[in-house]
Amino acid sequence: MAAVKSKSASRKAPWRKANPKAKSKTSRKLTPEQKAAAKARAKKAGRPYPNLVDNMAVAKTANTRKRKA
């Protein structure tokens, strides 16, 4: 019986990927509300401060909300 690969197994970790090509010269910063959400997410996971994954998750939820509207 062949092993089934999960979706996340085939993807590279964010810290192993090259930086994406900038569409514009400015980077997008997290808003104070997003920073608070990332910090709360980190605290819930037992970390003292947010890491890359927390920041990416918060930024992604903001982008999906923007697209739905």
In a domain, residue 45? The reply is: yes
In a domain, residue 23? The reply is: no
In a domain, residue 1? The reply is: no
Q: What is the structure's pLDDT at 54?
A: 95
In a domain, residue 4? The reply is: no
Q: Enumerate residues 6+ apart whose C-beta is below 8 A from 30.
A: 38, 55, 58, 59
In a domain, residue 11? The reply is: no
pLDDT in tens, 36-50: 999 999 999 999 999
Could you tell me what percentage of the chain is helix, strand and coil, using 3-state DSSP and rounding each to the nearest 5? 55, 0, 45
Domain count, the chain: 1
Q: What is the structure's pLDDT at 12?
A: 87
Q: What domain range is 55 assigned to?
A: 34-69
The tokens for 51 are 């890491």
Angle at which helices 52-68 and 32-44 cross, to 10°: 130
In a domain, residue 38? The reply is: yes
pLDDT in tens, 1-45: 555 555 556 788 888 888 777 766 666 789 999 999 999 999 999
The tokens for 12 are 């590279």
User: Is 70 exceeded by the pLDDT of residue 67?
Assistant: no
Query: Of residues 65 and 2, which shows the higher confidence score?
Result: 65
